[in-house]
Structure 1
Amino acid sequence: RELSVQNLAVAAPGFDMPIVSGVTFSLKAGAGLALLGASASGKTSLSKALVGIWPAHRGAVRLDGASLDQWRNEDLGRHIGYLPQDVGLFDGTVA
């Protein structure tokens, strides 16, 4: 019912320097959020942290009050979707 982000800092895996920092907001179910910014400003890095692909360097991402690492992957996957910038398509058909 709510996604909350508290003083989030995100660094690329294996690096200590945050790409984005100090991000705080909350969204109720049904609300939307647009991430706007210049190229290489951290939009994708923030998105990866919001869905749990990259861990938070500092701060917290919570879904319904629980941090993302408290969710089982199977349960989290039913509530969060992520479409990367580069989409890979498979040769052939679904059938």
Structure 2
Amino acid sequence: MGESDRPVAGPYRLVAELGRGGMGRVLLGVTPDGRLAAVKVVRSQFVEDDGFRTRFRREVEASRRVSGAYTAAVVDADADAPLPWLASVFVPGPP
């Protein structure tokens, strides 16, 4: 991660980039007690768009309802943060 990267999202210390896409980046986060999470952080260009925040809130709620053997459960989120984020269980695997 670069110097300009935010080092935290909520309680998660962000330590490495796992991927990126049109809406933002997914970063490896570590909780204070050492658990890992995949933390999706929204791009800053979207934060002033109220419609985007509404859509992101819906995404968070929909993601919380999804479960199963092939999904990573959502464990935390903050759609009202300066840079909205969503954290899910980190599942290690090949890049």
TM-score by length of 1: 0.29
More strand by share: 2
TM-score by length of 2: 0.29
Question: Rg: which structure is higher?
Answer: 1
